[in-house]
Amino acid sequence: MLSRLSTATAAALRRGIATSAQNNAKVAVLGASGGIGQPLSLLLKNSPLVSKLSLYDIAHTPGVAADLSHIETRANVKGFMGPEQLPECLKGCDVVVIPAGVPRKPGMTRDDLFNTNASIVASLTTACAKHCPEAMICIISNPVNSTIPITSEVFKKHGVYNPNKIFGVTTLDIVRANTFVAELKGLDPARVTVPVIGGHAGKTIIPLISQCTPKVEFPQDQLEKLTARIQEAGTEVVQAKAGAGSATLSMAYAGARFVFSLLDAMSGKQGVVECAFVRSDVTEVPYFSTPLQLGKKGIEKNLGLGKLSPFEEKMVAAAMSELKGSIKKGEEFAKNFK
């Protein structure tokens, strides 16, 4: 068991899921009692990068915080419950992660979540704009293709908008692509890196297998199947859970991976690159996910699309109309949100 554990730990270290570097970051999780929020909070509590962990939800947070507070790691955990306690939760935060909202059930698309989750994200990001305007904001709540435009519009309304600090967490698409490619090629997934660009729903998820490290090749029919599996992997989990929720554990892992990369970059680590759905002028749509070089102030440099294969170019073109529609829907919602 020990040797297996140390192998897993080594893989995590390579990925940046744990690091011996210490800093004094205050991180808040909004939606901390939910299916993603609880395992995400556990992973954050386990990291030496986090010194204060603020957990917020509309129910059960005191219990989740009490439970996590017994773990023998340095992060000081506090639970906050209900809107009146949200300002205190957010005060002084360096990073805010938002997995709040309802999950998908079988037969639902991410867009079906819009009506419920749009209001939740708009309310929570309004509080962030007021109480921690300088924090990095990491949105997990779906549909990300709409909730990021909502977040941006909310921050603009409050005069504190900084596009380099607002991220749609698409990391689970990268994690899945790495895993599925590694399975097909018999590789260690911790050593595989597949950039995934576009958005975070169905055909807007564009894995760049041609840019995979190490280099891999697939016959066209296998490449199409692999791409479709990466695009529909969330639905695979929703169906397997048969009504009991969507991807929570893998999403928590991916969310933690993104936060740790961000914290590493904020504390001065060089060469930290993650993909995320952000404000962008790389394509004709105003938001798009590409590899980003992260730094002390968020996005240091957008690394763009790189060289695409003809198959990938077609996918980018095919994603445009859906992305435009989802972005517009988010922007219009935010403009009318009181």
| pLDDT over 90 (residue 88) | yes
Which amino acid does the sequence have at 289?
Answer: S
The rounded distance, in Å, linking the Cα atoms of 65 and 87 is 17
Rounded-to-10 torsion of CA 235, 241, 247, 249: -150
DSSP strand E in the chain: where?
25-30, 50-57, 76-81, 95-98, 136-139, 166-168, 196-198, 205-207, 272-279, 287-295, 298-302
User: Which ranges in 109-232 belong to alpha helices (H)?
Assistant: 114-131, 144-157, 171-185, 220-231
pLDDT digits (tens, 9 = 90+) for 166-211: 999 999 999 999 999 999 999 999 999 999 999 999 999 999 999 9
Q: What is the pTM of this model?
A: 0.93
Q: Which of 60, 70, 131, 200 is catalytic?
A: 200
Q: Which residues are annotated as a binding site?
A: 31-37, 57, 104, 110, 117, 140-142, 176, 251
Q: How many CB atoms lie within 10 A of CB 157?
A: 16
Angle between helices 220-231 and 310-336 (to 10 degrees): 20
| pLDDT over 80 (residue 141) | yes
The predicted pLDDT at position 143 comes to 96
Q: For this structure, is 200 an active site residue? A: yes
The predicted pLDDT at position 20 comes to 44
Higher pLDDT, 22 or 30: 30
The predicted pLDDT at position 110 comes to 79
The predicted pLDDT at position 97 comes to 98
The predicted pLDDT at position 22 comes to 60
- Residue-averaged pLDDT of the chain: 93
Work out the pLDDT band at 248, boundaries 50, 70, 90: very high
The predicted pLDDT at position 30 comes to 98
Which amino acid does the sequence have at 183?
Answer: E
Percentage of residues in the chain having pLDDT higher than 90: 88
Contact (CB, 8 A) for 161 and 152: yes
- Work out the average pLDDT over 323-337: 97
| pLDDT over 60 (residue 21) | no
Ordered domains of the chain (ranges, CATH): 25-169 (3.40.50.720), 171-326 (3.90.110.10)
| pLDDT over 70 (residue 123) | yes
The predicted pLDDT at position 23 comes to 76
| pLDDT over 70 (residue 113) | yes
The predicted pLDDT at position 243 comes to 87
The rounded distance, in Å, linking the Cα atoms of 252 and 138 is 12
CA-based R_g, the chain, Å: 19
Output the CA torsion sign for 160, 150, 272, 301.
negative
Backbone angles phi, psi at 299, to 5 degrees: -75, 120
